[in-house]
Structure 1
């Protein structure tokens, strides 16, 4: 693995940052201590500019290269927030806060970007400007959108933007990427079925919403099986099913179901939304009940831009050798999608090895992946904003 030597030398320091963050997880936009920690490290590193409070609690830092004749500005993003999960790792540096843990590796992402910041600030072997983005609230809060809505892209003149995510199941320090959709959208729906409550011993005098709602759940499985092109990937899942009765001898008046839809393109998002509404309303009507659907738009699909995917892959090959450039897309969602809607860029997977899956209480970010991740961030900046041959000779 061709990680940068100076990044390898600071490996232990970056591990220390990562484990501090792991011990002190914060949720959503309430990442005040995490953001303060990032700011303090950036001050010690000596970046050119630090701006907290972007997208509520995000941090943006700027590092200028030895030259700025290219006028190029590249953004690098890491997420900072944790999850509301009770940790079950038993690690010495496990979470100090019950019910909160870094179960998705954002502690590792933040630490790796800080490592790249230290390297880039010390070397400055590039022609242009690196913008480092430390984002809150990736886990459901849409912090990426908040930072974009706060004018981040225009304020710092960002022209391209890149991010990464650790991935259990891929060998430690290896990379995988694809052009086009790499992660799915994540929309939510709430279906309310209303009938006529009654006594369980007299079902003929009621309209049984439990029965009706069950028919809807079964019928929704036809959306992917019979409405979506079988070459496309879509997920429809009903996650909760709640009646307004807790007794075995009562027919419920109302049932509320909540679910999620995952898709890799906007056409299927629209199709599935329409089919869920029609199936719910018509199935309920057929049995004498009514159904209404509330739809909540979530993160859009994460779509890698073709040319920028090549740039990200080139940097990964320099760091790790052979990489997977046609990895299958996965159906979780990622709010880096909003940044890719505003600027060209790419999102890459970094191997976390044989670990528990993300969002599992036994998950832990693999510290052995740090040199590869930090080196990828730095290599991307140096490759996209390379100094000329004469500049390189002068600096040596």
Structure 2
């Protein structure tokens, strides 16, 4: 039976798993119910090995193909899905909406997990490949670096993973379509925290104070010059200061102010440049205003960089599922993904699967589109059968 037809038969089960997970969202590493749900099904499918507790709550399933591995062939590939939700109040009114106030699957990780479970079931039934397919269910993608935690616990070495692949749904990409590119596809994500200490005073006597609000306003404006005047116009960078906290009375110049923001870049060189210039700008404003300014620049997820050969492998699999005209080249995105840590350690590729005309990721009205299930699940299966073919 063709892959897509068999996956279509499995679609009701995969959809039911997805909606079950959607109803019970869990955050970061506290994905105990979801992890147990995943592990139970992997055992039911007959996976040759099911491991739990990697990266605290990650789950791994190993499926051995029934064909012999040839000399020099790829023996083991990893397929990764993320399991965690977001601290957002759901606003969908769906019958399977979140049952936990203040939490929802607003990024589609419920769909990612269900599709990989569907692929695991199919691969366990057919085993039409050589070597091993390792299905990876990761916690804490949303800011917790769960991928790095699983790697630290020995994920890649313990299971002998030689190549690793990831997938994310893409709102705005038509159902049945995929999007991918070689090289940088998603940005690094760094955190900026700035604390300004001026000199408080009466609003009617500003000459006796060092106005932390004015200093903060100058900083917000000055930091924008980094992208517009220090970064090559042909490169990409984002500096966004998104929090500004100061004062509690209209007639008091506050002693302190705090700014918080994020920096996004697509290359190590631009990342270094932006951090350097940010420190220089902060130092300059401090000297100009007389305020004391403390800067914390915390590096987050690295750039997601698709390897060229593995991107070609992913494109081939996607085209076999969706047709050549439905696999598109895409520009890089300035959002981040901790799958970057896996791609730093092993060759692989990250692809986007169309979610249709849905609300955007991290929006209270977002919902993973169940029509994407057949396409995403079939992609995983085709990727394994192509890569581990004999």
Normalization by structure 2: what TM-score? 0.97
- 2:313 is aligned to 311
1:95-244 map, 5 Å: 95-243=98-246
Contact 2:185 2:304 in 1 (8 A): yes
Structure 1, 348-357 or 185-194: larger mean CA deviation: 185-194
SS in 1 for 2:298: strand
Distance in structure 2 (CA, Å) of the matches to 1:156 and 1:171: 35
8 Å contact from structure 1 (residues 281, 292) kept in 2: no
In 1, the alpha carbon distance for the partners of 2:238 and 2:173 equals: 23
Q: Alignment length, in residue pairs?
A: 385
Give CA deviations for 1:28-47 in whole Å, capped at 9, x if unaligned. Answer: 00000000000111111111
Conserved 8 A contact 2:318-2:327: no
Is the Cα contact below 8 Å between 2:319 and 2:327 reproduced in 1?
no
Counterpart residue number, 1:76: 79
Residues of 2 paired with 1:308 and 1:227: CA distance?
34
CA distance in 1, matches of 2:389, 2:225: 52
Instruction: Give the alignment of 1:1-396 within 5 angstroms.
Output: 4-70=4-70, 72-243=75-246, 245-322=247-324, 323-387=326-390
Pairwise CA RMSD of aligned residues? Answer: 1.0
Q: Report SS of the residue matched to 2:184.
A: strand
Distance 1:173 1:29 in 2: 32
Given that residues 3 and 372 in structure 1 are in contact (C-alpha distance below 8 angstroms), is that contact kept between their aligned partners in structure 2? no
- In 2, distance between residues paired with 1:13 and 1:69? 32
Residues in 2 aligned to 1:126 and 1:98: alpha-carbon distance in whole angstroms = 44
- Shift of residue 287 of structure 1? 1.4
Cα distance, 1:192 vs structure 2: 1.2
Secondary structure, aligned partner of 2:329: coil
Q: CA deviation at 1:195?
A: 1.1
Unaligned stretches of 5+ residues in structure 1: 388-396
Runs of 4+ in 1 over 3 A off after TM superposition: none
Structure 1 residue 306: Cα displacement: 0.2
Secondary structure of residue in 2 paired with 1:95: coil
| 1:89-142 Cα deviation digits (max 9, x unpaired) | 010000010100000000000000000000000000001100000000000000
Whole-Å Cα distance in 2 between the matches of residues 370 and 266 of structure 1? 35
**Contact 2:212–2:257 (Cα < 8 Å) also in 1:** yes
User: 1:290, CA displacement in angstroms?
Assistant: 2.0
Q: Distance in 2 between matches of 1:164 and 1:222?
A: 35
Residue 117 of structure 1 aligns to a residue in which SS? helix
Q: Is the 8 A contact 2:356 2:369 kept in 1?
A: yes
- Name the SS for the 1:99 alignment partner: coil
Aligned residues of 2:89 and 2:103 also touching (Cα < 8 A): yes
| Residue 281 (structure 1) shift | 1.5
* Structure 2 unaligned residues grouped into runs of 5+: none
Contact persistence 2:173–2:355 (CA under 8 A): yes
1:381 and 1:355 map into 2 onto residues whose CA distance is 29
Corresponding residue for 1:392?
A: none
**Closer/same/farther in 2, CA of residues 3 and 228 from structure 1, 3 Å limit:** farther
Structure 1 CA distance for aligned equivalents of residues 174 and 119 of structure 2: 21
Q: Indicate if the aligned counterparts of 2:191 and 2:300 stay in contact, CA closer than 8 A.
A: yes
The Cα shift of 1:4 comes to 2.2
User: Could you tell me whether the CA contact under 8 Å between 1:72 and 1:159 is conserved in 2?
Assistant: yes
Distance in structure 2 (CA, Å) of the matches to 1:180 and 1:149: 25
Please give the alpha-carbon distance, in whole angstroms, between the structure 1 residues aligned to 2:68 and 2:27. Answer: 37
CA distance in 2, matches of 1:345, 1:208: 51
Q: Which is worse superposed, 339-348 or 269-278? A: 269-278
Residues 53/68 of structure 1: CA separation in 2 closer, same or farther (3 Å cut):
farther
Deviation at 1:3, TM superposition (A): 5.2
Within 2, Cα distance between the matches of 1:68 and 1:325?
34
1: CA distance between counterparts of 2:4 and 2:138? 25
